Structure 1
């Protein structure tokens, strides 16, 4: 729309009209209405901003910029511009200078910004960063930014009603992310507790909200039933990506957590001693244990050594066993093993973490090994002195266990048929 096409029906200015206004060779102003001092300034480059026409002294008028036009944070729609104009004009009529009014309003806006949920969240995250490991901090910060900040982050946390919180978490659960909703609720409750404990808020609306949300019982990571294992093992061994086939075989054979293998470095493996030393920092432990705890040593059966030496032929020049495709200085993404199982047709039937459950079930059912030995192989650390003792003494005792499991996998792969289950 050209300026010349503006008619009375276009006043007061609507956002759709403003969006349609075309720039000209020189900047120009359009009055919002005939009885207002609010003007829209359209620059030659198409950018638009709001200005207030005011009397400097008798007979002399000037324009005062009050903000960029727009409908996003930090900008002003037509409706917001009129509210701002009313605030400025009202203050001037009360005897306050325009610039003093503007400075005061900016100060009030700053104070309000410090009381937003986003600001309180950052304060809380700064405290948690002292105790969380980096991966936990990054994951939780990302969850809050994705699920909370876009909807409630810019609001004053004291003005967010319990019903609004409940609607938000119900919406998350409706998406099927029940566990995520529960985790985010726990963090938000802790965030608001910070405001309560520092006398910035009287009561926490999330204190008992967990009682009103759906809960999901913890379930084991999906894995195939025992009769289906031979078929799965053969499928993995014939996978068209040799790197992926080796990775999945090692994951099954060593019963380690997927991230521990995916992020493994060649320097962690001692082929002469036939063992893999996983640094404590990469284990699933509390921060103090990650920083000061003992590493987890996994004895390597002969089949694992053969697979590692094969993998070394094409990935041995990199830092990681499984270097990233776009950046070899980083390990492959967390989807590496999951995508391999998906390509094999096992999506929803077998997860990378599920191999640990298969190992645990098979080892316990064999009745050849103590439960303490099996738990130690899974790096399920017992708390206290006994846990430290177990880690220290079970390394050599676990060698027969790991070799037995590797041999069992070979035996299963050699079977001619798979039980139908009915």
Structure 2
């Protein structure tokens, strides 16, 4: 059997040579002077070789101990090299779960991986919903221990309060657990199928008729306890036919008052395409008034009253309509339907209407060939709409001419 002195004294030769110990254990002395522990064994008639480290980092006693452990495995019919590899993989997996395996850690990685392609408003909404309804239940839990039943129960609780949020949360959870699978933390996705939630109510946003729009505008003008910026935001939603979030999240850098136009960047648009909005005289007048109300250093047209670095709260305009008694009759988003219904009813150009609404053309072939932006026509239509809105605000009856009328863009 070997001694430590023998191993230390062994000098390298031109070719590698062995210093045998016992039971298949030996030191392989390399020409470069390194001394490597090896264990030669047979398992089921097949010869194998196991590396046990290098001398002197692995001492003679250490090598004999590792050799003895491997011989025990051989006696049980277990391949020692494979057993050591599985042990390393198990330790690595345990470390991965310790560092990256909590729901909160996986969720954070998933947010980073998926957030770049989302609109800022979408990211804010997603973070808010996760922090409110998922993090309190699961943040510090190992993701591998979370069951389908737990997820279903959590989603059902949210659904009782906010069905749309529950659907959003289920989509987030699916992405989070898929990310965990891709990261090697779990093998299967426990998120319940869509069927565990009630089917979405596909009703469209309620929209005010022209008559109700007139009543709403007069009531909006008459009440003097409304924050003026909120009033202006509501009027701009009506005048521009833009989505609520596009108006409330607008920045002064997007507005050109001299050219009477507003360019909404692609990242703030639902379809991911920049949207050009011609501003009517009435809209420009409102923005000039707003400019005098909002401090120059503010980025947003409608800064949040509690935090000027954020835009107006998402539900402010809905709350305004509810306050004025129109919650069951219309929504801010429904103002777009009022605009569209009016101009479709009087036979205006569908293409111009759809461009004003920033809708993606349904006919892809036609859209590919028709590159006309209808800018002049859109400006004319939105100015006509603003004139119509003025008539409604004053209480004058709206007159919808026949489609053949030359003034078919008027109220």
With normalisation by structure 2, the TM-score equals 0.64
Displacement of 1:157 after TM fit?
2.4
5+ unaligned residues in a row in structure 2: which ranges?
1-92, 399-411
Tell whether 2:121 aligns with 1:135.
yes
Cα distance in 2 for residues equivalent to 1:373 and 1:312: 30
Displacement of 1:153 after TM fit?
2.8
Q: Which moved more, 1:354-363 or 1:107-116?
A: 107-116
The match for 1:341 is 321
Cα distance in 1 for residues equivalent to 2:295 and 2:97: 56
- Indicate which of 115, 121, 127 corresponds to 2:101: 115
Cα distance in 1 for residues equivalent to 2:309 and 2:322: 26
Q: How does 1:219-368 map to 2 (within 5 A)?
A: 219-240=203-224, 241=226, 242-286=228-272, 293=273, 295-315=274-294, 317=296, 319=298, 320-328=300-308, 330-368=310-348
The match for 1:151 is 137
Is the contact between residue 255 and residue 356 of structure 1 (CA under 8 Å) also seen in structure 2? yes
SS in 2 for 1:192: helix
Cα distance in 2 for residues equivalent to 1:130 and 1:113: 24
Is the contact between residue 144 and residue 184 of structure 1 (CA under 8 Å) also seen in structure 2? yes
Is the contact between residue 208 and residue 330 of structure 2 (CA under 8 Å) also seen in structure 1? yes
Displacement of 1:185 after TM fit?
0.8
Cα distance in 2 for residues equivalent to 1:323 and 1:170: 35
Displacement of 1:140 after TM fit?
1.6
Is the contact between residue 355 and residue 373 of structure 2 (CA under 8 Å) also seen in structure 1? no
> 1:334/1:388 Cα in 2 relative to 1: closer, same or farther (>3 Å)?
farther
Is the contact between residue 318 and residue 329 of structure 1 (CA under 8 Å) also seen in structure 2? no
The match for 1:217 is 201
The match for 2:61 is none
Cα distance in 1 for residues equivalent to 2:367 and 2:263: 18
Cα distance in 1 for residues equivalent to 2:367 and 2:297: 35
Larger radius of gyration: 2
The aligned length equals: 303
SS in 2 for 1:129: helix
> 1:346/1:380 Cα in 2 relative to 1: closer, same or farther (>3 Å)?
same
Displacement of 1:231 after TM fit?
0.8
Q: Which moved more, 1:216-225 or 1:372-381?
A: 216-225
Is the contact between residue 251 and residue 301 of structure 2 (CA under 8 Å) also seen in structure 1? yes
The match for 1:190 is 175
5+ unaligned residues in a row in structure 1: which ranges?
1-106, 287-292
With normalisation by structure 1, the TM-score equals 0.63
